[in-house]
Structure 1
């Protein structure tokens, strides 16, 4: 297989679907990940991608997905950890450890499960890359002083579970990049995009939001790593 092999989690809708569409258009062989087989197969057919059944909260499901890609493609050039959940929007003092555990199991532990399972396949690629779909809401700098960074995040919200999970995802980016120097590892901030995640209340379209994910997935050699980037450039950690 000579094309770029790309795996995208949560690719049956929203940012994942649009990212997959544009990468297929760019010539990538895309494995469109979804945790529901029917929805995943339907999305893959619409995209011209390969369906990949994967529930990133389940070790066995992730292992089976990696085994499928290994058997069919033998390597992964780009892994896009896109699947995520918003979690509860309740005030911080009302949230429990269980509330945070639910969000972290997808947004953080799910990324770890997937990265670990696909790492041997990434190591078979000539210029492997991992793109973690994060958020400016995960920036410690912005959360510490939102008013000073309104140009980067005009819609800041004190979402304890979501913000802290994206901050943790950013730390995964940094540590994986330092530990795996042959792999480009970046976090991207798509911006406040209208998707199911936020009840379609975002201020931009999925086409606009997916642009930075696609750019990171197609950046190629020489990409600074680790990095945290948005539509207009670097985002402060």
Structure 2
């Protein structure tokens, strides 16, 4: 009964005024009253949460909740790449030599997604798209251990990036607000593209310094959104067990860095 209401509220975050109003509500003390129903509707696994349900003062704090220590286990392989989020892997594919990826039958420009000066190195490589729904844990962890080579933001407002947004939206992955971190592991560069899904684009970076450790937190979303990983040609081998759509958790192995 309540799920259509919450779905409507999430869709309203794509307007300037409505998203601002909803953001204020989510950060207000009044919003704590809806936390129990939100948790019930989206079947949140409360036993994994760092705090008890009643300890979250606002819906915003609940949405960006942390998990208990040990709730997620990171693959220990020295050259493994892992999932940066709890999500559904909606799409996996090759980046064409003309710097295009095709998702849900639509073509996206890597040049627009990353910026023209960054796109070339990923031609012929591999992309993975991770979609986060409101039911997911919304903190983002590093998929590899390495050094941050660059970090930048592109885009302005945002539109939905769920499977319907990917199929029917207008260039959501390459035009939405996005925060991009490029990390280097040995000889391999990996682009971590965090795509905003609301007009108030809250992608908060939490890591400090220029070193990332596999499985450690690096950022968080305040609403459901999408993470895209881009790997260079010949530098990544996908785990053969992964078939889309694939439900996956932070720290689970997605492949091997070459």
TM-score by length of 1: 0.28
RCO higher in structure (CA 8 A, sep ≥6): 2
User: Of the two, which has the highest radius of gyration?
Assistant: 2
Greater strand share, 1 or 2?
2
